Copies of this chain bind each other. A is one copy, B any other.
Amino acid sequence: MKLHGYFRSSAAWRVRIALALKGLDYDQVFVHLRHGDQRVPAFLKVNPQGLVPALEVEDGEILTQSLAICEYLEEVYPQPPLLLGSALERARIRAFAYAIACEIHPVQNLRVLNRIKALGQDEADVRAWAQETIATGFDACEALLDGQAGPYCFGAQVTLADVFLVPQMANARRFGVELRWPRLRDVEAACQSHPAFDTTRPDRQPDAE
């Protein structure tokens, strides 16, 4: 398999974590988002959405969207599972991942922040936009874990929820968000000592700056 990614893309990091959890080997192709590599014709042939990650699988077929890639990996390589328990429990794990993937990340990603800047907002306003987006989203995430046992989001095993939380926590730090959510902080700490999270960190990638 071949992963088209960028060290700092939190969506690409999710896929690196999922691949590591499943114990899968892959090659990396680096798409420099700040240099605009995602908008060149050669990459648009890989992913017409102009986004990373994209994962090349069997016969050169290419999968896009980090959530779809994770669900694919879960179907094809079910062990160890990213989704656990009853349909209800699996829905809670997915809802937590989507609360990050659909409510936080799309509204604070580079593309949106550049558009906010283009509206005439200065750096401080753009940073405040990202901070508010993350804080509102993490308030909801902390509430979604109410009553759930640790050390991970949903108990003793890593799930899709943790795969999505840790990269978003890193984004929060990067934007200077005060991390006032004790449960989310505890989960992040538990994940940080797990090799699937540690070895896939942005600063450990070959394209890290």
List the interface of chain A (C-beta within 8 A of B): 48-51, 57-58, 61, 63-65, 67-69, 71-72, 75-76, 87-88, 90-92, 94-95, 98-99, 101-103, 105-107, 112, 115-116, 119, 121, 125, 129, 132, 139-140, 143-144, 146
Contacts and interface: CB of A to CB of B under 8 A. Distances in A.
Given A88-B63, A106-B103, A143 B72 contact: no
Given A64-B95, A115-B129, A119-B119, 17 more contacts: A48-B139, A63-B91, A64-B99, A64-B144, A65-B98, A67-B67, A67-B94, A67-B102, A68-B91, A68-B94, A68-B95, A71-B90, A71-B94, A72-B90, A103-B106, A107-B107, A115-B132
Contact of A75 (B64, B69, B90, B101): B90
B76 A140 contact: no
A102 B125 CA distance: 23
Contacts of A61: 88
A99 B67 contact: no
